[in-house]
Amino acid sequence: MMSIASCEPSVMFHHFCDSNHPRGQGAIDAEELAQLIKWLGRDRILRADEWIDHIRIGKSTENKICFTFDDALACQYDVAAPVLEAHNLTGFFFIYTGYLFDDLLPRLEIYRYFRTVYFQTVDEFYQDFFDAVDKPGGAAAREWMARFDRKNYPAYPPYYSDNDVRFQQMRDEFLGEQRYFAIMDDMISARGLSPLELATKTMMSAAQIKALADRGHNIGLHSHSHPTVFAALSAEGQAEEYQRNVAAVTRASGRAPIAMSHPCNSYVPATLTILDELGIEFGFRADVTQKNYSRLELPREDHSTLMREMRA
């Protein structure tokens, strides 16, 4: 697969905030996004179609970047898209699609919304979560917590707190998907809430996705159900995830996707073969750790890192 050694890292966004969308971890508002565009330099930022043309014809991307948005979040449509369009920009919106057509709950976003809105601080949520895991997990959970050492997980960026890393690793390494879902759903139910109620507050609708595509934004893949450890799926499971994702993106946007981002930065070489066979031309990682990049492993810098640099 073609190597792109000098590809400039593009920018990865997730959450935005305004009067209708809470300011959780990492979220920025419209004014902050506009400030970031100015700080980066508008001339450096390519529209999605311009960026595609640069890569396709082998034109240098030195000092050129694009903007990418993961997860099909309603806040991206409400807050970020108008700012981009005011600057004559378009972006890549990578969506996971189970919620759109198959009634699969977007649990990652439901749970994030829950911990943002219904707890005073994220550490208050973490404490309740660790306590909830301890009840069914017992001695095994306490033993895992005692063994936890942040130094064993060097891939996490330095701005992640120890509790951020502890939570994510307990979720993925100790609990696994189904046990994690059960604990979180119990915590939500204990507050008299329903996951479906929270989902409607967080995700884009199919009509909004179509509107973005019609306004020139590029709609791409982010898997169908967004497993947190995508690489753990069998090759057949990965292929089904992306086949369903392709069908749903095409249905929602009216266009066959050509780009994607790897959910939770999780993939294996077989994943890249599957994407290539589906006609995907460009794929994005969630970091800048590799020295050389294939066209399906392009680098991205998290916006929060850039915001820290801008404010320094």
Q: What is the pLDDT of residues 26-58, one digit of tens each?
A: 999 999 999 999 999 999 999 999 999 988 887
In this model, does residue 59 exceed pLDDT 80? no
Distance CA 66, CA 37 (A): 11
In this model, does residue 113 exceed pLDDT 60? yes
Tell me the whole-structure pTM to 2 decimals: 0.88
In this model, does residue 194 exceed pLDDT 70? yes
In this model, does residue 2 exceed pLDDT 60? no
Q: What is the pLDDT of residue 4?
A: 58
Average pLDDT rounded to a whole number, residues 205-229: 96
Q: What is the pLDDT of residue 135?
A: 81
Share of the chain above pLDDT 70, in %: 97
Pairing label, strands 300-302, 282-284? unpaired
Q: Give how far Cα 64 sits from Cα of 9, 153, 224, Å.
A: 9, 31, 30
Share of the chain above pLDDT 90, in %: 79
Cβ(115)–Cβ(122) below 8 Å: yes
Q: What is the pLDDT of residue 268?
A: 96
Contacts of 293 (CB under 8 A, 6+ apart): 3, 4, 5, 7, 285, 299
Helix intervals (H) in 19-66: 30-40, 48-56
Q: Give how far Cα 239 sits from Cα of 10, 57, 128, 182, 235, Å.
A: 26, 29, 37, 26, 6
Residue with tokens 């994702």: 245
Q: List the domains of the chain with CATH numbers.
A: 10-104+200-311 (3.20.20.370), 119-192 (no CATH)
Distance CA 49, CA 128 (A): 45
In this model, does residue 7 exceed pLDDT 80? no
Q: What is the pLDDT of residue 77?
A: 98
Q: Give 231-280 pLDDT, tens digit per residue.
A: 999 999 999 999 999 999 999 999 999 999 999 999 999 999 999 999 99
How confident is residue 6, by pLDDT bands cut at 50, 70 and 90? Answer: low
Q: Give how far Cα 242 sits from Cα of 207, 227, 248, Å.
A: 21, 12, 10
